[in-house]
Amino acid sequence: MASSDDERTIRQQIIDLLGAEEATLRDISQGVGIPEKEAVDHLVHIERSVRSQGKKLLEIPCCCLSCGFVFEKRRRFTKPGRCPLCRNTHMQPARFHIE
């Protein structure tokens, strides 16, 4: 289990990454070296901490590559398994950005 210092460092790395470019959960997990599931947890905290700095964590929503369905109303930060309209599992993953 990571110490809270490690967690802070990881969060700062994610904040730096998302401040520089749009990134998917996979980009974050590869960029920082953590599983995607952990990246989701960090995003929840990061959203709060950047808000206190007057910044915003933006989510460019996931969409279906087959029919273009956009997962706007989806619970944040999680990845849908398949499209509710066409049942396709090929998704353009959500991207995150801090500005």
Residue 63 forms beta bridges with which residues?
Answer: 70, 92
Query: What are 8's two structure tokens?
Result: 């802070």
Given the rule CB under 5 A, which of 2-10, 20-28, 32-40, 61-69 is the region that contacts Zn ion? 61-69
DSSP label of 63:
E
**CB nearer to Zn ion: pick between 48 and 73:** 73
Edge-first strand order for the sheet with 57-60 is 23-24, 95-98, 57-60
83 sits near Zn ion (criterion: CB under 5 A): yes
Separation of alpha carbons 35 and 21, rounded Å: 20
92 sits near Zn ion (criterion: CB under 5 A): no
Given the rule CB under 5 A, which of 9-17, 30-38, 50-58, 75-83 is the region that contacts Zn ion? 75-83
Residue ranges that bind Zn ion, judged by CB under 5 A? 64, 66-67, 69, 83, 85-86, 88
